[in-house]
Amino acid sequence: MEGRKWWYEEPNISNLQVSNNVVCGNIEVGTESATIVCQNKEYGCNGTLDCIDNDIHEETCIFSPWACPLPDCNFAGSSEQLSLAFSSKHWDCGRRFRYNISFSCLIRVNEQFLVLQADEEGVLFLHSKGIESIGNIVIVTFVRPSFSKDGFLYDLVAGRGVSSLRLKSLTEPFSGRVEGLPPVDFLLIPFPFLGPSGQLDLEVCIWSSTELGADCS
């Protein structure tokens, strides 16, 4: 009886399907092009990045959404979107101004802040007030993410008769809702400097430049 013959056939490597895919979060991508789209794409970011850099990018993405500072508004979007939305929806809730020109600014006793919007490109600033035991503290910040390196020089002047108080400083970036004042330079205005109804009436100037030698017209 003839025995059975056994043999081993070498596999055809060309027919094998080799998978080099990796998983990044919930997205499966090839190792040669392990890129994903920034989660802020809907706000204008067109960047693509790999898995490792994704977390770092999203922490510093300039298109990260910021909330409208007004408490009754739920809008959130990029800086440009927020500026456009504020101009169209809240045109009567803020104060428009021009860079390098001094203007009067009043914050009523029951107001925590006033939104300032630049005429040129619509950048939003917050003229904020806090209450201390001997008076009010006031600052100016601008709506940008906290990692932003941008800044604007500003000037605050409070007057009473022949006396005046002045602060010249650099704006700090501040994003989201106003929940207390950030730890930045401020002007302390004693209560005798307030108006008859407890309002703050100041002269404000914001420069388009950060040069310390700049002055308002």
pLDDT score recorded for residue 55: 62
pLDDT score recorded for residue 213: 55
pLDDT score recorded for residue 154: 93
Q: Which CATH class, in words, describes the domain spanning 94-206?
A: mainly beta
pTM exceeds 0.75, yes or no: no
**Per-residue tens of pLDDT for the chain, all 217 residues:** 555 444 445 555 444 444 444 444 444 444 445 677 787 777 777 777 666 566 666 666 777 777 788 888 888 887 778 888 888 888 888 899 999 999 999 999 988 889 999 988 888 898 889 888 999 999 898 876 555 556 789 999 999 889 999 999 988 877 655 555 666 789 999 999 998 888 999 999 999 866 655 566 6
* Cα 86 from Cα 94, distance rounded (Å): 9
pLDDT score recorded for residue 20: 44
pLDDT score recorded for residue 167: 94
Closest by Cα among 87, 89, 92, 114 to 103:
114
* Cα 98 from Cα 116, distance rounded (Å): 10
* Cα 66 from Cα 144, distance rounded (Å): 8
Residue ranges per structural domain of the chain: 21-60, 94-206
* Cα 119 from Cα 91, distance rounded (Å): 12
pLDDT score recorded for residue 201: 92
pLDDT score recorded for residue 216: 66
pLDDT score recorded for residue 28: 44
* Cα 67 from Cα 48, distance rounded (Å): 25
